[in-house]
Each structure stands twice: as structure tokens, then as C-alpha cells.
Amino acid sequence: MRPECLYPLFAPVTALPGVGPRMAPLIEKLAGGHVVDLLWHHPHALVDRRFSPKLRDAPPGRVVTLHLQVERHEPSATPRRPYRVLCVDDTGRLTLVFFHAKVEWLEKALPVGAERVVSGVVEHFNGEMQMTHPDYILPPERLAEAMTIEPVYPLTSGLPPKVLVKATKNAVERAPQLPEWIEPGLFGRHRWPSWRDAVASLHNPIDEAELSPASPARQRLAYDELLANQLALGLVRMRLRQAAGRPIKGDGRLRQAIIAALPYRLTGAQQRSLAEIDADMAARLRMLRLLQGDVGAGKTVVALLAMATAVEAGMQAALMAPTEILARQHLATLEALAAPAGLNIGLLTGRDKGKGRQRLLDRLAAGEIDLLVGTHALFQEGVAFRDLGLAVIDEQHRFGVHQRLDLAAKGRAVDMLVMTATPIPRTLMLTAYGDMDVSRLDEKPPGRQPIDTRVLPLARLHEVVGGVARAIAGGARVYWVCPLVEESEKIDLAAAEERYRELAGLLGPRVGLVHGRMKGPAKDAVMNTFAEGGLDLLVATTVIEVGVDVAAATVMVIEHAERFGLAQLHQLRGRIGRGERPSRCLLLYGAPLSENARARLNILRDSEDGFRIAEEDLKLRGAGELLGTRQSGLPEFRLADLAVHGDLLAAARDDARLILDTDPDLQSPRGQALRTLLYLFERDAVVKTLRSG
């Protein structure tokens, strides 16, 4: 159960004054649906209203707080013209400008002859000094309300800044005093504030230095977040390791049949990773291993050979993928590879219903299915294996830790192999996979073609279309990826549909469109038509990012490449270069391009090493942007910035290890405080794995 002291923070945002049914969805979209989410939504700038000059000394473009007398009102002659209120002090005059004015309200707020305090940005227009829609209009006795330093928060469309500031202020007031969970020596060395004082300071910065990730308040809260992350990973690892494993050893017959039928030899990296996996599976501890491989490094083959060992030992295996497209593709790949060994493979997705689904579940429970491939539908109620020995999770970062535990619960002491094709810098490995042993596939299978990558301005789009037409005439198949627009699937979709219409008009009917809002069957149908050669060009949003495998596709065009993360561009590029023919990737950018963006695109042009690309991207952009929510789903830190707080991550990892060595059930006074920390950062699923308390 969540500790009672946290109840006020996990109330819905509608519990805050001024947040009704209209504003709540906007705040939820921006920060989250609970009061605590507003505590993590920190300001990125300040407005200092303490500058209060006379009119003659008020510089244009600056926020000022002025003491004025209202001289007269000039109502608008037409609805399009603004309503104007002329004001003066003893050094000059200023016009307050209001569009779509509510006349009654203005006459009441600014009565002629009265003195008023107004605060806002002064501008010069047609030789006149003016202020459009002042932020504050107050009587002189309320001057102190305007003379403030205000935090400026990231916003979303339709949410007024004042509503968010007020809601956040009320959220901070709800923050309770919490027991201290930071180790006293570390706490004293850094001279950090208490948790509550840090939250208050984060939202009431008095200067630019307090906005910095290096400020004591932000450092303390970043450490809290990293410690919760490392402790959660440590608890999962401990739980999985405490449950005794089962040694899984095969006789090699199925594995040999698969290897003998492969059209290539396994790479050294594949053989090394298999040896590590075999050793884990044969041991009495449960396996929890990450198989990290660059695009096209041959992870699926390694996973299949590991699953074959489980089947040889009389058990079943499961492979879970994040999307239906990927699950179906894994099925097709595995069926082809596993056919020589005679393995029975089934598929289960959320789309499967009725009698067909029940037949599959009956066969699974009877042990007639050796390998089950599927989406998160695999760990739903009613899915029962006869004896699940190995679970493989693809693109782990799309799933939460609790989903990993849910799948493991489908069998007795299930070994876990997690795969990712997202190259992750070493710092970030700790935050996402700190609970796992790691195997790395850092060689490409023989026969993979190098990809010729070019960086071009969007102004040359017509040349690119001409080049694509020539490539298609020569038998090529082409991906055309449309731009990523932050926080707006609708705009993504509009851009993709517009480009699709344009290209279909120029290149004819053999152009298809696939995007994230399409229903599963429609998406699959288009992808299959493209894979089978029924389409020459596929216009897509980023749904093709991971795992889609069409060997005949040799050209990729990515529009507005500067809007994508480098790791994601590398993933997208990995969809080509899979066959015998040379491949080309064109990165189109919108001008003007910043130096930073140019450097990033050049890294991609010059290298195909995903690990190097990820490290460079981390250096250039920092973790927050590198792992933007849309781009990877790795742990999304709201307070920690790994480019700045890397040393805190190392300290949090060491501290978490020490805690779990000395107080594994978190029963000591500090352990109880750490339970509160885990709930605070919503690691509830992990707290439930503790044996008691």
C-alpha cells in the first residue's frame, strides 16, 4: 500500500483549486494526471517583474511594472481594431492595447482618473509606447502581487500560464515533509536541502543559477530519481535471482539442425553471446541477460538458438515484441529459420479472438506449441504454458519492468533474455538495464552491404523525387519517412498523407502509406504488399523504425532528418542494406540548420557503428533529448539529466547495491524511508515484490 503521507500527492490534478474538467486534460497531457506530476514539471526560465522604472526609462522588449494614472478609454471603431486605454505618469504616456476586449471588465479594472499598477512587456509602435494585454492590472495597494519573480514553465496549446503556475504553487503547498532516505554522509557532503525544501526551491527560483541542473535543489531531486531507478532495478534483479532457477541444458540436436540450414556462418560475436547465454541457462540461478546488437547484427538467430535449447530440455519458449507488425515479422523469420528443426511456432496478438484464440491456448497448455510469438497479449490472464522455460523480450525499452515480471510469472523460474537494437551509451545502460548481464553483438553478419548516406537540403526535394523515380525504374524499392512533429500525431499524419498524395501523383499507383493510427490488419496488408513487391514506394511515419525487414528495399529518404534523434535515424537507416544490392539513405534537412544539428547528421553520414553514434549523440545533446519520449521509451527522467548528473548515477548505483546487500527487505528506518521514495517515483510494482512489510 502507498504510504499515507503520499496520498495528497497522488490525488488527481482536479483536486487543485482552479483545475476543472477543461484544464485537467491539458495538464495531464503536459505533465501527468496526479498532483505529484506537477512537482516534477520544473520551470525553464524566469520573469523578473521587480524592475519598476518611470515611462521615459522603460526599455522596449523588457518586462516592467509601472505605476500609472488612467487618462481615457478609446473603444475600437471596428471589431478588428483593438481597444485602447491611454495612461500617463509624470514622464510620459503609454497605451494599453486589448484585442477582443470585454468593455465592461476594462472599464471596471481601469476607471478613468484612477491610479493603477500594470506589469507586462513595453513595446514601441508607430512612435508610441504601448503594452499589449498586460499580465497584471492592480490597484496601488496590491503592488507587491506584481513585483515578483515568476517561474516560466513549458506549456501546451490551450493551457494559460497563470493556470499552470497557480496549480503548481498549490501542488508544492501539498508536498509533505518526508523521512530522509539519502545516506547521511552523502547528504552532508553535498549540503543538499531536505526533499520538501528542494521541491519548494525548484519551483521558486530567485535567479538563473537556481534554474540550472547543477543547483543544489535540482541535484538533490535528480539523485532521488536516480536512486529510485537503481533501487527498483536492483530489487527486480534480486527477486529474479532469489527464486531458484532451473538448469536448462539441451542435447544440441535442434540447434544443430538450425545452424546447418543457415546460409551463412555465425559471427564471432554471435558465438560468444550464445556461449554466455548457454552458461546462464545451465546455471542454477535464473538468467536475466540483455542481448544488445546493432541493426542487423543477427539477434533473432541467437534468440532462436537459445529457445531451441529450452525446447530440447522439454520446455517451451516465448518471444514478446512491442507491436503487432514486429510480432508477425518475427513469426515469419523464425518459421523460416526453425523449419529444418521441426519446431512448432504459434502467434498470439491482441487481434486474436474467439475459437481460433482458444484453440491456440489449448495447444499451448497441452505443450503442442514449442515457441509462442506475440505482443503484450502473452502475459494476459488465460494464457497458460505447459512449461515455460525461456522468455525473450524484444525491444525491452518499450515494456516496463512490471511487464517483464508478468511474463516471468507465466512459468516456474523462467529464464529471461531481453533484446534491443537501440544502441545505448554506457551511462544509459545503467539506468535501463542495470539489473542485467549484457552480451553485445558488435559484428555484422557477412553479406550486409554498406549504406551510402547523403545529407541534402529540402530545397533539393524535386531532384530527390527524380532520383527516386529512376531508382524505381531500375527495380529498387523505396522507404520515404515523413517528419516527426513533437507531441502531435495528427500533424505527423497530415504530413505523411500530403506527401503520399504528392508522390502517388508523380510516381503512379504503386505508392503505399502506413502510419501509427492505422488499424493492425490495414497496416499489415500495406507492409506485406510492399514486402512482396506489389508497391514500389512506402510512405511511412516512424512505425517502420524497428525490425521491419524487406531485403529488396535499397533506398530510404528521411524528411526533416534534423527532427529525429540520431539513434532513431540509425534505426530507420537499418531497414535498408539487408540484401545483395548497394543501398542509399538520403537525409533531407530544413534550412537553416544549427551547428549542432549539422554535426549530428554528419556523424550519421560518416559512421554505421550504432554504438559510436549513440555515444556521440549523448555528448552533443544530453540524455533527455537523445531519449525523447517518442524516440525510445527508455526510462524517462523528469529531473535527472544524465549528461550533467552522470556522477550522481554512479553514486546512486553504488548506494542501491549497498542498501540491498545490508537491508534487502527495506525494513530498517532508512529502508522504510526508501520504500516511500519508490512509491513517490511510482515504482509500486517493485515494492510489491518485497517479501514483507
The count of other CB atoms within 10 Å of the CB of residue 606 is 12
Show Cβ contacts of residue 553 under 8 Å, excluding neighbours closer than 6 positions. 476, 477, 478, 479, 530, 538, 575, 576, 578, 579, 583
Every domain range in the chain assigned CATH 2.40.50.140: 50-147
> In terms of DSSP bridges, do strands 583-589 and 553-558 run parallel, antiparallel, or are they unpaired?
parallel
C-beta of residue 456 within 8 angstroms of C-beta of residue 545: no
Handedness of CA 344, 350, 351, 353 (dihedral sign): positive
Which contacts (CB < 8 Å, 24+ apart) does range 655-661 have? 655/183, 655/186, 655/227, 655/230, 656/227, 656/230, 656/231, 656/233, 656/234, 657/234, 659/231, 659/234, 660/231, 660/234, 660/235, 660/238
Query: Taking Cα atoms as reference points, which of 449, 424, 453 lies closest to residue 558?
Result: 453
- What is the per-residue pLDDT for 492? 59
Q: Which residues of 513-539 are buried (b: 16+ CB within 10 A; e: fewer)?
A: bbbeebebeebbebbeebbeeebbbbb
DSSP state of 502: H
- Reading the block at residue 214, the C-alpha cell is 547543477
Q: Which residues of 247-280 are buried (b: 16+ CB within 10 A; e: fewer)?
A: ebebeeebbebbbeeeeeebbebbebbbebbbeb
User: Rounded to an integer, what distance in angstroms lies between the CA atom of residue 264 and that of residue 438?
Assistant: 25
C-beta of residue 434 within 8 angstroms of C-beta of residue 230: yes
Which residues share a beta bridge with 392? 319, 417
User: Rounded to an integer, what distance in angstroms lies between the CA atom of residue 517 and that of residue 542?
Assistant: 11
C-beta of residue 643 within 8 angstroms of C-beta of residue 499: no
> In terms of DSSP bridges, do strands 63-74 and 83-89 run parallel, antiparallel, or are they unpaired?
antiparallel
DSSP state of 34: B
Does the reported pTM lie above 0.85? no
What's the topology of domain 50-147?
OB fold (Dihydrolipoamide Acetyltransferase, E2P) (2.40.50)
For residue 506, the SS3 value is helix
What's the topology of domain 243-441?
Rossmann fold (3.40.50)
Every domain range in the chain assigned CATH 3.40.50.300: 243-441, 451-607
User: Rounded to an integer, what distance in angstroms lies between the CA atom of residue 648 and that of residue 187?
Assistant: 12
Angle at 539 between CA 535 and CA 540, to 5 degrees: 125
Instruction: Please state the CATH superfamily assignment of the domain spanning residues 451-607 in this structure.
Output: P-loop containing nucleotide triphosphate hydrolases (3.40.50.300)
Element (H, E) at 277: helix 268-282
Concatenated DSSP letters of 213-275:
TTSHHHHHHHHHHHHHHHHHHHHHHHHHHHS--------SHHHHHHHHH-SSPPPHHHHHHHH
Q: Averaged in consecutive runs of 10 residues, what is the pLDDT profile of the chain (693 residues)?
A: 93 95 94 95 94 95 96 90 96 95 94 97 93 96 93 92 94 96 94 97 93 95 95 82 82 95 90 96 89 82 97 96 84 91 93 88 96 88 92 71 68 86 70 76 76 94 95 93 64 77 92 83 85 91 62 91 83 82 92 85 88 75 43 64 84 94 94 96 76 39
- What is the per-residue pLDDT for 401? 58
User: Rounded to an integer, what distance in angstroms lies between the CA atom of residue 336 and that of residue 233?
Assistant: 36
